[in-house]
Amino acid sequence: MAGRALNYSMHPLTAAELGKDFNLNHSLMFGNLPSVYTESNPKDVCASKILFFDVGIFRTLRPMGHLDAPGEVEGICFESLLFQELKAINDYYNLGYNIYYWRTSNNLEVDFILYGERGLKAFEIKKRGRVPSSELRGLKAFLKDYPAAKAYYIYGAERRMSEGTIDIISLDYALKNLPAILE
C-alpha cells in the first residue's frame, strides 16, 4: 500500500466503514498524501496516496516473496524516507508547507509537491544511480504547468548536476541540506 494511490474499492470495507474504524489521517503509522488537483487542469488525477511515516514499519510489514523485485520495494523505502524527512523538517521548522503529490491521467507523476508561502517545490526520488531522461518527464511536465516551481530529482548516486531548471542531487545531499532546500 505504501507509495500507491489508495483505492477503497480494493478494500473489503466501504470507504465510510474504513474511515470510521481506522482514521488514516490521524494514524501515527500512515501519511495521507493528497494530490495536487485543479479543476482548470483536467489532466490532473484526484486521488490520495498513502505512505508509511516510518520506513522500518513498511519493511517489517511488507511481505516479500520470490516474485517481488527488491528494487521496487527499496524504491518505495526511498520515497517513504524522503516523505518522513520532508514532513519532519516542515513541522519542526514550522515552514508551513502543505505536502501533496502530482499525477496526470497519462501517468506522469511527481512524488512530492510542497506548496506554501515559501513557494512551490517539486521532488522526484529514485533509488537508481543514474538519471535516465524518462525519469525526468514528470518533473518537466509539472514545470510546464507550474513554471514558478523549483524542482529536484533525488537519486542514489553522488554526482550533483542539473537538467534545465531541475536540480539533480544525491539522497545524502538532500537529507543533509533539506532545511536549506525548503527555506
pLDDT per residue over 92-112, tens digit each?
999 999 999 898 888 899 999
Q: pTM for the full model? A: 0.73
- Domains observed in the chain: 4-182 (3.40.1350)
Q: Do 182 and 97 contact (CB within 8 A), yes or no?
A: yes
Chain-centroid distance of CA 38 in Å reads: 18
Q: Do 166 and 146 contact (CB within 8 A), yes or no?
A: no
What pLDDT was estimated at residue 79? 85
Phi-psi region of 94 (alpha: psi -120 to 50; beta: other; left: phi over 0): left
Please count the other Cβ atoms lying within 10 Å of the Cβ belonging to residue 111: 25
What pLDDT was estimated at residue 89? 96
What pLDDT was estimated at residue 12? 39
61-80 mean pLDDT: 70
Q: How far is Cα 54 from Cα 57, in angstroms, rounded to an integer? A: 5
- Lowest mean pLDDT, pick from 53-67, 122-136, 160-174: 53-67
Confidence of residue 10 (pLDDT cuts 50, 70, 90): very low
